[in-house]
Amino acid sequence: MRVLWVLLLDSFRMLRARRLFWVVLVLSGLIGLVYASIGFNEGGVSALFGLLAFESELFRMGTAEAKELYLLLFTNVIIPYWLGFCAIVLGLISCASIFPEFIQKGSIDFALSKPPARVTLFLGKYFGSLLFVLMQVLPFSLIVYLSLGLRFGDWNLSVFWAVPLVVLSFSFVYAVHVLISVWSGSMILGLFAALLVWGGSVLVEWGEDVSYQFAYTAPQLGIELDWEEADHNEVEPRESSEDFMVRIHWVLDAVRLALPKTRAVGGQMRSLIRVDEKGGGLAGKSLLALLLRDPIDDIPKRHSEVERAADQRHPVWKDLGSSLLYELAVAGLALVIFVRRDF
Amino acid sequence: MAVCAVDISGVEKTYRGRVQALRGVSLQVPEGSIFGLLGPNGAGKSTLVKILTTIIRPTRCRGSLLGSPIGHKPTLRKVGYLPEHSRFPAYLTGRQVIGYAAGLGGVRVTSEEVDDLLDLVGMSGGAEDRAIKTYSKGMVQRIGLAQALVNSPRLVILDEPTDGVDPEGRYHMRNILQKLRDDGVTVFINSHLLGELETLCDSIAILKEGQVVRQGALSDLTAGSRGFQVAVEGSLPEEAASRIRGLGHSVSEREITLQGADPGPLQVVLDALRAAGVVILEVRKSHQSLEDLFMESIVEKQDLREEVQRS
Kindly report, as residue ranges, where domains of CATH 3.30.70.2470 are found in chain B: 226-286
Residue A59: predicted pLDDT: 80
Round the average pLDDT of chain B to a whole number and report it: 88
CB contacts < 8 A, A to B, total 86
Contact B106/A2, CB-based, under 8 Å? Answer: yes
Of how many residues is chain B composed? 311
Cα–Cα dist B236/B232, whole Å: 7
Shortest Cα distance from B130 to chain A (angstroms)?
A: 13
Contact (Cβ atoms closer than 8 angstroms) between residue A94 and residue A23: no
B78 touches chain A (CB under 8 A): no
Closest chain A CA to residue B78: A115
Q: Which of A10, A18, A110 sits opposite B86 (nearest CB)?
A: A110
pLDDT computed for residue A279 by the predictor: 46
pLDDT value of residue A277:
45
pLDDT recorded at residue A295 = 45
Q: Which of B76, B86, B100 sits opposite A106 (nearest CB)?
A: B86
Residue of higher predicted confidence among A304 and B242: B242
- B137 backbone φψ class: left, alpha, beta (φ>0; ψ -120 to 50): alpha
Nearest by CB to A117, which of B73, B85, B131? B73
Spell out which residues of chain A touch residue B54, defining contact as CB-CB under 8 Å: 112-113
Contact B103 A2 (CB under 8 A): yes
The pLDDT, as a whole number, for residue B305 is 60
Region(s) of chain B under CATH 3.40.50.300:
4-218
Chain A residues close to B88, C-beta within 8 Å: 107, 110
Q: What is the pLDDT of residues B154-166, one digit of tens each?
A: 999 999 888 878 8
| Whether the Cβ atoms of residue B113 and residue A133 lie closer than 8 Å to each other | no
Nearest-CA distance from B213 to chain A in Å? 26
**Does B88 contact chain A (CB < 8 Å)?**
yes
C-beta atoms of A115 and B83 within 8 A: no
The answer to whether the Cβ–Cβ distance between A112 and B84 falls below 8 Å is no
Chain B CB contacts of A105 below 8 Å:
85, 87
Residues of chain A with pLDDT under 50: 277-280, 283-284, 287-288, 292-297
pLDDT the model gives residue B234: 85
pTM value is 0.81
User: Would the pLDDT of B29 be above 60?
Assistant: yes
Which positions in chain A touch B55 (Cβ < 8 Å)? 108-109, 112-113, 342-343
Q: In chain A, what is the greatest distance between 2 CA atoms, to the nearest angstrom?
A: 72
| pLDDT score, position B303 | 62
Average pLDDT (B35-62) is 92
Among the partner residues A6, A104, A115, nearest to B74 by beta-carbon distance: A115
User: What local confidence, expressed as pLDDT, does residue A120 receive?
Assistant: 93
- Chain A CB contacts of B89 below 8 Å: 10, 13-14, 107
CB contact under 8 A, A113 and B54: yes
Strand pairing category for B203-208 and B34-38: parallel
Q: In this model, does residue B224 exceed pLDDT 70?
A: no
Residue B281: per-residue pLDDT: 92
- In chain B, which residue's Cα lies nearest the Cα of A17? B91
* Assigned fold of B226-286: Alpha-Beta Plaits (3.30.70)
Find which of A220-224, B275-279, B305-309 is predicted with most confidence, using mean pLDDT. Answer: B275-279
State the amino acid at position A255 in one-letter form.
V
* Helix (H), strand (E) at residue A27: helix A19-37
CATH number among 1.10.3720.10, 3.40.50.300, 3.10.450.630, 3.20.20.70, domain B4-218:
3.40.50.300
B126 touches chain A (CB under 8 A): no
Best CA proximity match to A58, nearest among A274, A271, A299, A282: A282
Nearest to A10 among B100, B106, B131 (CB): B100
* Residue of chain A whose Cα is closest to the Cα of B133: A17
pLDDT at residue B59 above 90?
yes
Higher pLDDT, B101 or B227: B101
| A101: closest CA of chain B, how far (Å) | 9
Q: What are phi and psi of A333, to 5 degrees?
A: -65, -40
CA A232 to chain centre: 33
Measure the CA angle with vertex A201, ends A184 and A126; round to 5°.
45
pLDDT at A205: 93
Contacts of residue B84 in chain A, CB cutoff 8 Å? 106, 109
Q: Residue B293's CB: how many other CB atoms inside 10 A? A: 22
Q: Does A3 touch chain B (CB under 8 A)?
A: yes
Across-strand partners of A225? A232
Find the closest chain B residue to A5 by CA distance.
B103
Single-letter amino acid, residue A147: S
